[in-house]
Amino acid sequence: MAALLAPVIGLALLVMIPIWVDDARLDALAERAAAHPLPPRTHRADADVQRSVTLRGNGNHCDYLVRLALSSTLPAAEIARYYENARIEGVDDDRADTAVYFHESPTPAKRPPTAPRSFILEVSDSTDAGLDLRCH
């Protein structure tokens, strides 16, 4: 019986270990993104942090994506500038990419300058796919 289980367990580990490694890299990226100081007058709109590891586009690499929902009374240009200059460490010690996406109403009304502005911060990076099946 043990002789039959050994190959099955070996195959399962061959598939799962690369997934666990990339999940740990993603968790570390999410922790760094969440720990990065927020701009003034900005707060987390949601405690959840969305995250994923997958292949986006084509190629042979793993793409890591972390999304945070934030709210701020700062102007959109100031928020965008803040995150363009943010230095959040990526999965391989390099700098991760950042992008901000603002939620604007389809029928924009005149917003008071101090009204809160909702936005999403995306922190992304990529690395070699290795043996993670999600990245091929």
Evaluate if residue 46 carries a pLDDT over 90.
yes
In one letter, which amino acid is 22? D
Q: Distance (Å, rounded) from C-alpha 36 to C-alpha 29?
A: 11
pLDDT per position as a tens digit, 89-134: 999 889 999 999 998 766 666 767 678 999 999 999 999 999 999 9
Q: Domain range spanning residue 37?
A: 2-135
Q: What is the mean pLDDT of residues 41-61?
A: 93
Evaluate if residue 15 carries a pLDDT over 80.
yes
pTM of the model: 0.89
Q: What confidence score (pLDDT) does residue 111 get? A: 67
Give the pair of three-digit tokens for residue 42: 């900005």
Could you tell me the CA-to-CA distances from 55 to 4, 46, 49, 109, 129 in Å, in that order?
34, 26, 20, 39, 8
Q: What confidence score (pLDDT) does residue 18 get? A: 95
pLDDT per position as a tens digit, 56-96: 988 889 999 999 999 999 999 999 999 999 999 999 889 99
Total domain count for the chain?
Answer: 1
Q: What confidence score (pLDDT) does residue 108 get? A: 62
